[in-house]
Amino acid sequence: MRQHVNPLSRFFQLENELPGPVELFENGDLPIHLDIGCARGRFLFDMASFYRGWNYVGLEIRRPLVVAAEKERLELQLRNLKFLFCNANVSLEKWLAKLNVGQLKRVSIQFPDPWYKTRHKKRRLLQPSFLSLLSRHLVAGSELFIQSDVLSIMQEMVQVIDISQNFDSKHNDDQLDMIKNPFKFSTERESYAIKKGLVIYRKSYRRNSNGF
């Protein structure tokens, strides 16, 4: 069950000042994997535990999930992981400016809220302006990974990315339902979708040199 919050409501338009990597991590110079819409963070817990040479940031717009994830993170003493509450479309730009050039190496957007109704389309996460922001802070060779169990949402994300011309697909075909997860670990939603026998659509990209 997806529990939506309206990212365009007045409350979620308030900017949150997010700490820079030196304040967030034991080693603030490590490469960063940014997971946008991380929910309860199970994917990031597994990644941060297994790959100690990276820092991981999970952004989530639902505060109770962030509170719960941060409590567990502290209990596990994972110093290369941090969960932050914010509306990424509002608060991410200033945070990205705090990073060293090239430090953001990977961005993942996994199972974003679909907002099915046409009038709610503007609430969807991956708008062209948001992708442009990410593009400016991803150097050539950096990675972008997207997945969803809703084909229409996945197709829209792919279209937004392709139109930007800032990313090259790492796949030679358009069979989104045949692409395997490139990571060892799954999100809560991915595990649920697999258990229910739902089709999962995926695509991985690499930042090209356009726009530099």
What are the CA-CA distances from residue 54 to residues 33, 45, 66 (Å)?
A: 7, 12, 20
Calculate ∠ Cα 36-188-88, nearest 5°. Answer: 15
What are the CA-CA distances from residue 74 to residues 56, 61, 99, 113, 153 (Å)?
A: 14, 20, 23, 27, 34
Residue 8 has pLDDT above 60, yes or no: no
**pLDDT value at residue 116:** 42
pLDDT, one tens digit per residue, over 85-126 is 998 888 899 999 999 999 999 999 999 975 444 544 555 678
Residues 180-208 have a mean pLDDT of: 95
Residue 198 has pLDDT above 80, yes or no: yes
Residues 130-140 have a mean pLDDT of: 96
**pLDDT value at residue 121:** 54
User: Quick count: other Cβ atoms within 10 Å of Cβ 158?
Assistant: 18
Cβ–Cβ < 8 Å for 100, 29: yes
Sign for the pseudo-dihedral over CA of 34, 40, 42, 43: negative
Prediction pTM value: 0.90
Q: Tell me whether residue 113 is one of the annotated catalytic residues.
A: yes
Catalytic pick from 113, 149, 162, 173?
Answer: 113
**C-alpha 4 chain-centroid distance:** 17
Residue where the block lists tokens 């792919």: 158
**pLDDT value at residue 174:** 72
Residues 139-145 have a mean pLDDT of: 97
Of 12 and 142, the structure prediction assigns the larger pLDDT to 142
Delineate the domains of the chain, giving CATH numbers in brackets: 31-207 (3.40.50.150)
Q: How confident is the model at residue 212 (pLDDT cuts 50, 70, 90)?
A: confident
